[in-house]
Structure 1
Amino acid sequence: MWKGRFSEDTAEVVLRFTQSLDMDWQLAEADIRGSKAHVRTLASAGLISAEEEAALIRGLDQVLEEVKSGKLKPQIELEDVHMNVEARLTELLGDVGKKLHTGRSRNDQIATTLRLFLRDQLIQIGSKLKAFLEALLDRAESHIDFVVPGYTHLRRAQPISMGHYWMSHFWAFNRDFLRLKAAFEALSECPLGSAALAGSTLPLDRKLSAKLLRFCKPTENSIDSVASRDYLADFHHFASLFAVHCSRLAEDLIIYNSDEFGILDLPDAFCTGSSIMPQKKNPDVLELVRGKTGQILAGYVDLAVTLKGIPLAYDRDLQEDKRGLMRTLQTLHGMLDVLTPLILRVEVNAKGASKAFDDGFIFATDVAEYLVLKGIPFRMAHELVGKAVKWCLSKNKGFSDLSLAEWRNLIPQIDEEMIANLNPRSSVERRNTYGGTSFAEVRRQIKEGKKLVEDAEKFLSTWVGDVDYSCDL
């Protein structure tokens, strides 16, 4: 494609080093979609005839079919997806095929192709994330009446509804969905027509190109158009936080399923055994979710380091932006494919959870707050209850073992009403502050969560199918 300037062929070792087909051949369909829009724009500008327009569209459709069927094998000497598609088109159409690249550079071509490809990927991931949110709501609704220990510092803290636990993850992943929408919005402008960096002397209607490809508008600056990878950074930001949240959830489920905790039961179909120990049931799927998170975080760092030191406008460094992108997309799809059905089959081990309440120390805050209602300053109440815990430990007793007389000997303000409330269900029911763990509050959260999932469905449906995309993202 540049032989007019050079006096010798590109060295074989250079071809191997500079090729990008191992990562950008996946972009062929999006690239051809962008090329078809460019053909329409060329025709509208009078740069090609109606007959040439029709021939180019037919030719591109044939190339696409050959790509999908596997008949068209990319050639490394053509470097990338763009030149392989164009070369095959030229084989089919002769000189007419050579008109495809009129007014276009691979710089604005890849910027457009990447946006088209990533837009489709985000819709697929968004649909899977919505299903994941629905799975968390399902577990919250199913487990709302189960009371389990809540933890801080991995130490028993206070009783909570298991539904409240599941909703805590729901809200985090819902924020991830909002970040996905923000990453999607970053793809709303079309760089096609920016050419290498300065635009074109040809009368290209960039607004038409944007409309044909269902973008909101053309990008505002041709240099920024070909140099910017902000939209990829926005995607990696979403992916990184989502993966971190997945890792945290996986860590929880691994711990709560352990023999030492015994709060949750994982489905056999999503666990593995041991090659030597017959009794083992290992949470390998969750461990892999935790392990793969580092790969996604690495993709974000990889892109940021690439972007930090290159000058405007386009530099070949940017070719490598797709390597981390493809790896992260593959990992995201895998995590969502396995986590959703796994979550739907997690069950509470009520017997295991109840062990956390046996000594009654988990109700210590309930006692302190009861004393506050009796007019005792909180810091004084905190000290009184702390001393009671200390005394019980010295006597090898728990709060559950104390008689009313022993309670009053430790804390005179204690009465029968307080002792009656020192049980898991009462403790949960009385925590009815907004966003708290009371059963009523968890039901409210679930109701709000269902509305958010409906909103997510509406957003996704707007971008699926043969519809005109609007700027109202």
Structure 2
Amino acid sequence: MWKGRFSENTADIVLNYSQSLDVDWCLAPFDIQGSLAHAQMLVSVGLLTPDEGLRMEQGLKQILREIEEDKFKPSIELEDVHMNIEHRLTEILGSLGEKLHTGRSRNDQIATTVRLFLRDKLADFQEKMRALLEVLLGRAKAHLYVVVPGYTHLQQAQPISLGHYWMAHFQAFRRDYTRLQAALDGMQECPLGSGALAGSTLPLDRFFTSEALGFQSPSENSLDSVAQRDYLLDYHYFATGFAIHCSRLSEDLVIYNSQEFGWINLPDAFCTGSSMMPQKKNPDVLELTRGRTGQIIGHLLDLIISLKGLPMTYNRDLQEDKRGLLASLTAVEAILSIFPPFLSQVEADQDRAILGFQNGLTLATDVAEYLVGKGIPFREAHWKAGQVVRYCLDHNCSLFQLSLSEWQDLVPEVEEDLLPLLDLKTSVSRRQTYGGTSFSEVNRQIDHGWNWIKSIKIIANKAKS
């Protein structure tokens, strides 16, 4: 493609080193999609005749069929997906095929192709994210009245509704969905027609190709169009946040499923055993998710480091951006495929959870707030409740076992109305602040979540139509 400038052929070792077919051949259908729009535009501005445009369209569609039927074997001598398709088109159409690249560079071509590919992938991810969010809402509803320990510093803190726990993860993944939408919104400009970096002297109609390919508008600046990879960063930001949230959820479930905790039951079909120890039930799905999260984060860092010192505009370094992208997409897609069916079968053991509350100390904050209701300043109430905790620890007894007289010996302000409050479900149900763990408030969160799901489905359906 560049032999006019050079006095000798490119060395085979350089071809092997510089080819990108191992990463960009999967982009072939989207490259053809962009080429079809480009050819139509060339006809519209008179750079191709209608007959030439029709023949070019037929040739490109023939190549697409050959790819789909695995009859087209690309050659590394042609370096990449773009030149392989153009070369095959020239084999089919003769010199007409050589007109396809009129007014176009591989720089703006790949920027367009990757956007088309990624746009398709992320639209699929949105559907899978909605399925994950719906599963979390289902778990929250199913476990609304299950009371489990809430933790800070991995120490028992206060009793909560397990439904409240699931809704916490719902909110995290809801933010991920918003970031995913932002990544899609960041790909609304079409770079095709920017050329190598400076545009073209030919009468290209960039608005034509932008509309034909479903973009909102052509990109504003040809230099920026071929140099920037912000749309890839936007994807990696989503992927990294999503993976971190999945890893955190995985860590929780690994802990809560352990013998020492035991109040979460993982489905057998999503666990494995040990090759040596017959009793083992290993949470491999969760552990692999934690492991793959590091890889996903690494792909973001890889791209950031590649971009941080590149001069304007296109540099061959940018060829490598697709390796991390494709690896990240594969990892995220795998998590999105397995998490919904897996989480939908996670169950709770209320009896085991109650065992964890035996000493009753998670109700100490309830005692302090009860005293505040009696007019005692919070810091004094906190100290008095702490003295009760100290008494229970010193005498190896439960907060639940203290009689009214013992309470009054420790805290004279206590009256009989405290005793009915020292109940786990009562404690949960009384935390009715907006966003709190009371059953009524969690139920409101669930309803709000379903309404949000309905709204984003309406938006998604409009986008499809």
Q: What TM-score bracket applies, with the shorter chain setting the length?
A: over 0.9
| Structure 1 residue 434: Cα displacement | 0.3
Residue ranges of structure 1 left out of the alignment (5+ in a row) = 468-473
Match of 1:392 in 2: 392
Match of 1:86 in 2: 86
Matched, 1:284 2:266: no
Q: Whole-Å Cα distance in 2 between the matches of residues 290 and 460 of structure 1?
A: 30
Q: Whole-Å Cα distance in 1 between the matches of residues 112 and 200 of structure 2?
A: 16
Matched, 1:266 2:266: yes
| Structure 1 residue 69: Cα displacement | 1.2
- One-letter amino acid matched to 1:383: W
Q: Whole-Å Cα distance in 1 between the matches of residues 414 and 429 of structure 2?
A: 20
SS of the aligned residue for 1:41 comes to helix
SS of the aligned residue for 1:371 comes to helix
| Structure 1 residue 375: Cα displacement | 0.3
Q: Deviations over 1:203-252 (max 9, x none)?
A: 00100110000100000000000001000001100110000000000001
Match of 1:121 in 2: 121
| Structure 1 residue 357: Cα displacement | 1.7
- One-letter amino acid matched to 2:424: P
Equivalent runs, 1:143-182 vs 2, <5 Å: 143-182=143-182
Match of 1:255 in 2: 255
Q: Whole-Å Cα distance in 1 between the matches of residues 463 and 104 of structure 2?
A: 27
Q: Whole-Å Cα distance in 1 between the matches of residues 455 and 254 of structure 2?
A: 32
SS of the aligned residue for 2:356 comes to helix
Match of 1:34 in 2: 34
Q: Deviations over 1:319-372 (max 9, x none)?
A: 000000000000001001111101000001111100122111010000000000
| Structure 1 residue 391: Cα displacement | 1.5
SS of the aligned residue for 1:113 comes to helix
Match of 1:327 in 2: 327
Structure 1 residue runs of 4 or more that deviate by more than 6 Å after TM superposition: none
Match of 2:371 in 1: 371
SS of the aligned residue for 2:148 comes to strand
Q: Whole-Å Cα distance in 2 between the matches of residues 120 and 457 of structure 1?
A: 17
SS of the aligned residue for 1:158 comes to strand
When the two chains are superposed, the root-mean-square deviation of aligned CA atoms in Å is: 0.7
Equivalent runs, 1:4-43 vs 2, <5 Å: 4-43=4-43
Match of 1:470 in 2: none
**Contact 1:432–1:441, Cα closer than 8 Å, also in 2:** yes
Q: Whole-Å Cα distance in 1 between the matches of residues 455 and 9 of structure 2?
A: 56
| Structure 1 residue 462: Cα displacement | 3.0
Q: Deviations over 1:12-40 (max 9, x none)?
A: 11001101011100100110000000001
| Structure 1 residue 266: Cα displacement | 0.3
Q: Whole-Å Cα distance in 2 between the matches of residues 284 and 456 of structure 1?
A: 32
- One-letter amino acid matched to 1:187: M
Match of 1:433 in 2: 433
| Structure 1 residue 460: Cα displacement | 2.4
- One-letter amino acid matched to 2:163: G
Match of 1:240 in 2: 240
Q: Deviations over 1:282-335 (max 9, x none)?
A: 001100001100000001000000000110010000000000000000000100
Match of 2:343 in 1: 343
SS of the aligned residue for 2:299 comes to helix
Equivalenced residue count is: 465
Q: Whole-Å Cα distance in 2 between the matches of residues 156 and 242 of structure 1?
A: 27
- One-letter amino acid matched to 1:422: L
Aligned-pair identity in percent equals 58
| Structure 1 residue 96: Cα displacement | 0.7
- One-letter amino acid matched to 1:296: I
SS of the aligned residue for 1:463 comes to helix
Matched, 1:222 2:215: no
SS of the aligned residue for 1:160 comes to strand
Output the TM-score relative to the length of structure 2: 0.99
**Contact 1:197–1:314, Cα closer than 8 Å, also in 2:** yes
Match of 1:64 in 2: 64
Q: Whole-Å Cα distance in 2 between the matches of residues 459 and 122 of structure 1?
A: 15
Match of 2:310 in 1: 310
Match of 2:55 in 1: 55
Match of 2:101 in 1: 101
Q: Whole-Å Cα distance in 1 between the matches of residues 148 and 263 of structure 2?
A: 7
SS of the aligned residue for 1:151 comes to strand
| Structure 1 residue 416: Cα displacement | 2.1
SS of the aligned residue for 1:362 comes to helix
Output the TM-score relative to the length of structure 1: 0.97
Q: Whole-Å Cα distance in 2 between the matches of residues 299 and 107 of structure 1?
A: 22
Equivalent runs, 1:395-414 vs 2, <5 Å: 395-414=395-414
- One-letter amino acid matched to 1:154: L
**Contact 1:123–1:463, Cα closer than 8 Å, also in 2:** no
- One-letter amino acid matched to 1:387: Q
- One-letter amino acid matched to 1:31: D
SS of the aligned residue for 1:320 comes to helix
Match of 2:297 in 1: 297
Q: Whole-Å Cα distance in 2 between the matches of residues 415 and 91 of structure 1?
A: 93
Q: Deviations over 1:370-429 (max 9, x none)?
A: 000000000000001111111211111120121111111111111222111111110011
Q: Whole-Å Cα distance in 2 between the matches of residues 211 and 418 of structure 1?
A: 69
